[in-house]
Amino acid sequence: MILVTGGLGFVGSHTVRALLEQGESCVLVQRRAAEAPTSLAGAPVDVTVEQADIGDLATLRAIGDRHDITGIVHLAGPMPWATGDERPVDDVRTALDGLLNIVTVAQEWGVRRLGVASTIGVYHGVDAEGPLREDMPLSMTSGHLIPAFKKVGELLGDHLASATGLDIVNYRIGAIWGPLGHPVDLFFPVPHLVHSAARGTAPDPAQLTNAHAEDAIDLCYVRDCGRAIALLQTADHLEHRTYNVASGRATTNAEVLDAIRTVVPDFAVELPTGGSGRRNHLDISRARKDVGYQPEYDTERAVADYIGWLRAGNDR
């Protein structure tokens, strides 16, 4: 049975679905009381939802008393966001405690693999064109809180894997979009464009970040992302401790607009030109070689699927 923190979230719910389709059973850890989402209805194996704060070690241990946990996918992302209480050190301690508690129970339960979510953002500051590989040296600085703490998590995970003998694997996740995602993303404009097209509204320029036509990023549709994580998590053996989880190509905003117009021909939105022109993407050769991962959703198929899902009455 695989425990998934953040299993009711955006990436988590798709990862759980993919794990269930592989015949795995799952325990979803949720800080607030909740039931399994309707998106998991009809899955081939039942799921169990446990209410727990990963900052509470005793509660996590109790889950292990009730279930035979054989693996963990740690997708919950506690961050030391500004809380207004002016206690940044305490906020950082709380954020790190969650990761350390997960490693503690993983060791106590003797799990086969602990997979930890990282981010494409760790490559910020890498001065390279083309593919971004897992073995590239990373910058010691970060432009945002999320990649900063993901880098810290990767370093801690590498140390703890060596010290404990645990198989701890980092999943560097690309720019994820699709069903259950937020309609506005802080880092790229695609979700907002798709939502606007599906609802027949004009996008709000204030909600469009990095929105030049030429701006590009490694867009990975969330269904592919969940499947990649599931393949990595259940593999008998992995050759590496870090894997890029992405599409393996850079997609421009202009390409997304073209794909949207194949579904919504009258979507009369034009983006400004003058973007950076950088075409970095994540190299997914490791995942291809080790677990046979291959993205199934190109831009047109992903846009059509997402718009169809939204038009079916889903709100995200």
pLDDT at 305: 98
Are residues 26 and 33 in contact, defined by beta-carbon separation less than 8 angstroms?
no
CB 123 within 8 A of CB 174: no
Which domains are delineated in the chain? 2-175+220-245 (3.40.50.720), 179-218+249-311 (3.90.25.10)
> 299 versus 145: which is more confidently predicted?
299
Segment 86-110 shows an average pLDDT of 90
pLDDT the model gives residue 277:
72
Q: Which of 264, 249, 265 is nearest to 299 (CA)?
A: 249
Q: What is the pLDDT of residues 251-285, one digit of tens each?
A: 999 999 999 999 999 999 999 998 777 788 999 99
- pLDDT of 300 higher than 70: yes
Residue 168 pLDDT exceeds 90: yes
Summarize the confidence of residues 44-70 as an average pLDDT.
91
For tokens 């693996």, name the residue. 71
130 confidence band (pLDDT: 50, 70, 90): confident
304: exposed, middle or buried (C-beta count within 10 Å: 0-12, 13-18, 19+)? middle
What is the Rg, in whole angstroms, of the alpha carbon atoms belonging to the chain? 19
What is the spatial distance between Cα 60 and Cα 134, in angstroms, rounded to a whole number?
A: 31
Residue 35 pLDDT: 62
> In the prediction, which pLDDT does 81 show?
66
Dist. CA 95–CA 55, nearest whole Å: 8
Tell me: pLDDT of 110 over 70.
Answer: yes
Tens of pLDDT, residue by residue over 174-225, are 999 999 999 999 899 999 999 999 999 999 988 898 999 999 999 999 999 9
Per-residue confidence (pLDDT) for residue 11, from 0 to 100: 97
Q: Which of residues 110 and 30 earns the better pLDDT score?
A: 110
What integer pLDDT is reported at residue 33 of this predicted model?
64
Percent of the chain exceeding pLDDT 70 equals 93
Residue 34 pLDDT > 70: no
Give pLDDT, residue 43: 58
Contact 307, 314 (CB under 8 A): no
The bridge status of strand 216-217 relative to strand 251-252 is antiparallel
Nearest CA-CA partner of 230 in 60, 14, 15, 84? 15
Confidence tier at 301 by pLDDT (50, 70, 90): very high
- Distance between CA atoms of residues 232 and 244, nearest Å: 11
CA distance 143 to 124: 7
According to the model, what pLDDT value does residue 224 have?
98
Nearest to 109 by CA among 65, 140, 74: 65
User: Does pLDDT of 41 surpass 60?
Assistant: no
Report the predicted TM-score, pTM, of the whole model to 2 decimal places. Answer: 0.94
The mean pLDDT of 57-69, rounded to a whole number, is 96
DSSP letter (8 states) at residue 62: H
Least confident stretch, 18-22, 80-84, 262-266: 80-84
Residues 135-163 have a mean pLDDT of 93
